[in-house]
Amino acid sequence: MALFQRIEAAVDAGIGRRRLGYALLALIIVYFLWFPNDTSQSNYAKTVFISGFFYAIMSSSWALLAGIAGQFSFGHMAFMGIGAYVAGLVARDGLAFLTAESISAVGAIFIGTLVAGLVGLVIGWLLLRLRSAYLALFTIAFSELFRIVMLTEYDYTGGSNGLSLRPLLQIADVDTARQVEYYLMFALLIVCLLALYWVSNSPIGLFLRAMREDEDAASALGVNVVRYKILVFVFTSMIVGLAGAIFYSDVGSERIIPEQLEILQMSLIIAYAVIGGMESLIGAAAGAFIARYLLEATRQVVITLPFGLTMADGSDAFVWEPGAWRYALFGLVMVLTLRFMRNGLLYPIITWFSGRGLVMKETVAKRESDEDHAGRLEVDNE
Amino acid sequence: MSEINLELNSIVMRFGGNQAVDHVSFSVIKPQLIGMIGPNGAGKTTLTNVMSGMLKPTNGTIYLNGRRIDGHPPYDVVRAGLGRTFQITRALGRMTVMENMMVPGLAIRPRARRADIEARAHEILDLLTIDHLTNELSRALSGGQRKLLELGRLLMLDPAVIILDEPFAGVHPRLQETIYSYIHRVHEDGKAIILISHNMGAVFELSQRLIVLNNGALIADGEPQAVKSDPAVIEAYLGEDED
Ligand SMILES: Nc1ncnc2c1ncn2[C@@H]1O[C@H](COP(=O)(O)OP(=O)(O)OP(=O)(O)O)[C@@H](O)[C@H]1O
Ligand SMILES: [Mg+2]
């Protein structure tokens, strides 16, 4: 611990925590930009990263909706699905006076995003008077309703076989294709994170947090709670609608299936955000990426035995395929996080770099040293 | 000095069979300090909720400076110029004191420079003697400090009419002094104040006019000394207090 404190002091005296944080963030971004050029990495590894980016968008936008705005919605996956399904349907069947052929993949994605936003508007409006548990129940019902319709109307949606969207990129060479898909999804993640940060750092972010703390008080303080509640649903729905439409346009996956819209999948989005830090956009994104990576990496655990030991079957490695146990373990991590680190496992790291701990310490110190105020602090404890 | 013309016409608020506010009418046309008293359950908080837009009255109308405000949401009513504090304080717990001040500041003046709003917030916090708590989370504040924070947030809105619901409850005498000077200062700024309190000493010291509610009905409205000797008021309320 003494060593850590010495490092801490050195950082504070030198580069400063915040700047060190930005430097590390820049390094991470450089690593992600370089990664597809690493010839030792397989296309499979890139695919894992691509889906990691997608889930990072899902969890970080949910963090804005639930962690910052306090709207604990289970409808996030459904909005993603709306974006993807609508993009697929208009590209196949056309839209009103537009023929299917005239709608490009980009056009289809655009329409999917727009419809996700429109549905977000309606749902946001319907949710105006609902809070906490009721909001969660409502959005579960909405999400299930959407999934079941997609499953049942198989003539249109392909039912459980899913629906193919118009491929966004048509690149014959598999290696190149994977590389372009990788950069596309990574760029989308960066753009989404920037947009989410812009909102959360603007006055809107402040109003959303005020509504999370106490909607009536926020309203009495002049915050147009109707406008901002609807706005946050429209905004996050469009982000995930866009991400879904792009991801399933053969960028990360070749088809959207109703199974993807099950409550279990939605719960995973929530779990990633909780583990990473529900009130931190970057924490939720990192949580999702790391969790996806670990869930993939632990499909098969191979431990080579030391000292020439061998297994009963003669092999020199212990092989374990945890299967669904990965998810059980993951659930356990989430339970422990909620119990012992409610702000997420990454929260201490993020606050350390942001220097927020420093500020807190300073104000306490200031208060202790300020005798004039010390008197005032005593009087009002009745 | 801002324009003041608040007018309540026969306001009724019913919860099921319970008539919490019963045909209350009064108006405020100048920057007066008005005390509002009445026994527990008389309907003072309910009337405040109706006036501030948290409740839609069962019947009656409210006009503020020519605009009808009854049934409008609180954020509209506040913009029209009527603000209130809560009897049970409602600090935005996991936000700092400064953030608590910035919410109303930015909500009302979205185009103003952030630094200007912050400077105004500091001024008000200083007036309320809680400037040293600027960066504390508001949930870390004591009950009395929260009362002060609520008064501060209200000033950020700069409303023409202010309703203070029990600002002295649970507050140490020394802090009450701060609230006294706040009330005087706001009054000198040309605002009308409706002060709801069970603290008779404070009410009689501060008020220029007294409104008495009983069982939801307005039973007296006038000069404090005249109201004090009104037989209906003595019977309903003050009588028991007099010793
Ligand atoms: N939301 C509600 N639903 C049903 N009844 C309510 C509601 N709010 C208030 N009441 C009733 O209205 C009546 C007036 O209550 P109110 O809180 O306005 O009284 P008050 O004058 O503020 O009292 P106090 O001095 O104790 O604060 C009470 O009988 C109360 O039970
Ligand atoms: Mg009351």
Residues A206-257 have pLDDT tens digits of: 999 999 999 999 999 999 999 999 999 999 999 999 999 999 999 999 999 9
Q: What are phi and psi of A296, to 5 degrees?
A: -70, -45
Q: Name the more confident of A300 and A187.
A: A187
Q: E strand or H helix at A317, and its extent?
A: strand A317-320
Residue of A nearest to B155 (CA): A221
Query: What DSSP letter does each residue of A150-174 carry, written as one string?
Result: HHH-HHHH-GGG-EEPPPS---SSH
Angle at B58 between CA B56 and CA B63, to 5 degrees: 60
pLDDT tier for residue A359 given thresholds of 50, 70 and 90: low
Q: Is B159 in the pocket of ligand 1 (CB under 6 A)?
A: no
d(CA A350, CA A277): 10
Average pLDDT over residues A362-381: 42
B92·A379 Cβ contact <8 A = no
Of the candidates B79, B90, B106, the beta carbon closest to that of A214 is on B90
- Examine the pLDDT at A364 and tell me if it is beyond 70: no
pLDDT above 70 coverage of chain A, percent:
93
User: Which residues neighbour ligand 2 (ion) by CB within 5 Å?
Assistant: B 44-45, 87
- Examine the pLDDT at A323 and tell me if it is beyond 90: no
Residue of B nearest to A366 (CA): B132
Predicted confidence (pLDDT) per residue in A253-287, tens digit: 999 999 999 999 999 999 999 999 988 999 999 99
Give the ligand at the shortest distance from the Cα of B213. 1
- Examine the pLDDT at A321 and tell me if it is beyond 90: no
Q: Which amino acid is at A65?
A: L
- CB contact at 8 A, A272 and A54: no
- Examine the pLDDT at A382 and tell me if it is beyond 50: no
Average pLDDT over residues A74-82: 96
* Predicted pLDDT of residue A95: 83
* Predicted pLDDT of residue A377: 38
Predicted confidence (pLDDT) per residue in B174-183, tens digit: 888 889 989 9
Cα dihedral B140, B141, B143, B149 sign: negative
Most confident of A99-108, A334-343, B130-139: B130-139
A363·B136 Cβ contact <8 A = yes
Chain A CB contacts of B95 under 8 Å are: 209-210, 213
Q: Which amino acid is at A170?
A: Q
Of the candidates B83, B145, B156, the beta carbon closest to that of A380 is on B145
- Specify the pTM: 0.89
Which of A281, A258, A295, A257 has the alpha carbon at shortest distance from A347? A281
Which of B145, B146, B122, B143 has the alpha carbon at shortest distance from B134? B122
Q: What are phi and psi of B63, to 5 degrees?
A: -115, 140
Half-sphere exposure of B197 (CA within 13 A, CB side): 25
Which of B236, B176, A283, A33 has the alpha carbon at shortest distance from B184? B176
d(CA A256, CA A248): 6
Nearest CA to ligand 1 atom 19: B41
Q: Please, what is the average pLDDT of chain A?
A: 88
Crossing angle of helices A225-246 and A76-93, in 10° steps, is 60
pLDDT tier for residue A8 given thresholds of 50, 70 and 90: confident
pLDDT tier for residue B44 given thresholds of 50, 70 and 90: very high
Q: Name the more confident of A134 and A98.
A: A134
Q: Tell me if ipTM is over 0.90.
A: yes
Half-sphere exposure of A238 (CA within 13 A, CB side): 14
pLDDT above 90 coverage of chain A, percent:
58
pLDDT tier for residue A358 given thresholds of 50, 70 and 90: low
d(CA B135, CA B148): 15
In A215-234, the residues whose Cβ lies within 8 Å of chain B are 216-226
Average pLDDT over residues A91-102: 84
Residue among A359, A380, A381, A382 with most chain B CBs within 10 A, to mutate: A380
The minimum-distance atom of ligand 1 relative to the CA of B42 is 21
* Predicted pLDDT of residue B2: 66
d(CA A205, CA A148): 34
Angle at B112 between CA A69 and CA A228, to 5 degrees: 20
Chain B CB contacts of A366 under 8 Å are: 132
For residue A153, what are the CA distances in angstroms to A115, A156, B90? 19, 6, 49
- Examine the pLDDT at B205 and tell me if it is beyond 60: yes
Predicted confidence (pLDDT) per residue in B130-172, tens digit: 999 999 999 999 888 999 999 999 999 999 999 999 999 888 8
d(CA A138, ligand 2 centre) in Å: 34
B84·A366 Cβ contact <8 A = no
For residue A95, what are the CA distances in angstroms to A86, A98, A106, A157, A217? 10, 5, 14, 15, 44
* Predicted pLDDT of residue A375: 38
* Predicted pLDDT of residue B120: 95
* Predicted pLDDT of residue A368: 46
- Examine the pLDDT at B207 and tell me if it is beyond 60: yes
A333-346 in b/e burial notation, b at 16+ Cβ within 10 A? ebeebeeeeebbbb
Of the candidates A222, A359, A366, the beta carbon closest to that of B104 is on A222
Distance from CA of A204 to the nearest CA of B (A): 9
Q: E strand or H helix at A296, and its extent?
A: helix A281-297
- Comparing A45-54, A254-263, A327-336, B40-49, the range with the smallest average pLDDT is A327-336
